[in-house]
Structure 1
Amino acid sequence: MSNNVRGKENRAASRDFHENNVQAGRDVISILLPDLPKTEIRPLVPAQRKQLNKLVKEIAEASNEEGFVVWQKVHAEVSVKNIDEITVDQYPNALNYLQSMLDRLRDGNDCKSLMHQLLKKTSENKVRQRLYEYCDISFGTRHLADLAKSQLQQALGWLCNDLTESEKIIPPPSSRLVWSELIRSYPTIIGPIFIFGIVIGAVIF
């Protein structure tokens, strides 16, 4: 039994192949080649260019880099020389690359802000030592720069609770004033009252 792999019947059997004829001597041999997906070579539409430019601008502002430096990184990522060479099929890669870069920058800036708050709230050496001990126990390091954003947030939450509890332990100052403080605070009122009391006392006794 033989299979017929030539002619119209074979071409109709599959749409994923195309037929190529190759001549070997006097014979013509038909070879079926798989159809390769067509590459999208259309340039970016205005909305896509606008979105890429927007992300590049935000990255430049967040990183203090020039916009053209950011563009150079994008061009290297998608293997082009300029934005005019970026095609529609390359757009998702360029978009994801820029979005990831922006997310990393924002996380970095958030971490710097959290570290600043932690250091500001621990200006006293004893409080800072408690913070370092907490980080050692919870995260295995006391170097704030090595902590992730979520870890810094956790440390800040712990610190705020710790400071609040410490304030509850310290008793509030007494609202009662001693006589010397009253005289210093209200001399025009206390003076006449004191003299009047002396006069009344002398009259009575």
Structure 2
Amino acid sequence: MAVRKIIEIEEELCNGCGQCVSVCHEGAIAIIDGKAKLVSEEVCDGLGACIGECPTGAIKIVEKKIASSPSLPCGCPSHQLKEFLPKENLYNQQEIASSLSHWPVKLRLIPPSTSFLKGANLLVCADCVAVAYPMLHTQLLPEKKILTGCPKFDPPELYLEKFTEIFTKAQPKSLEIAIMEVPCCRALVKMLLNIRETIPTNFPFKVYTITIDGKIKNVEEV
């Protein structure tokens, strides 16, 4: 048997404030009948980001025994180890030009006031998409300014501050988001939806979900 870390919520101490729900990037916690519940145990990563947000100390990290599996270092699907069969290199006969039009690309490094963001078509891209999706430069990136980041490891307050300022000052023309199919990546969409509610311009945006083997799983307007 292997051991993995997971959160445990003491119902008697929980006051149902919901702060743990808002910081759980995996969507593993929900408020049910006025109490926080771990509703998706399989995706809880055991990192405990929710602990510091709990005002009553109702959440703690525990160790749980699970059946040994080399592909499950923890419960979060983003950590599951997978290996793919070799594919034919479809691009070995031609060189594909980069569609990148600016530098840097990391959200943490780009000032919201930079000139290339003003009135731009923005592509907010989860870090892993650039590695997984082979058609990024031909299908998603052309004529867009890209901002990359990881909602699992970047602090939420960074997104709140920077995107709020970008949306209000740079006033982008359009917004598209490219995320991976793992649950923690969906937090990026949730963050941007929350930010959109706080600004005067309530514009729609498009979300591309990419599978871990590099295909577009679905496209949605939100």
Structures share fold, TM-score greater than 0.5: no
- The answer to which structure has the higher strand fraction is 2
Q: Specify which structure has the bigger relative contact order, considering alpha-carbon pairs within 8 angstroms and separated by 6 or more residues.
A: 2
TM-score (normalised: structure 2): 0.18
Larger Rg: 1
- The answer to which structure has the higher helix fraction is 1
TM-score (normalised: structure 1): 0.19
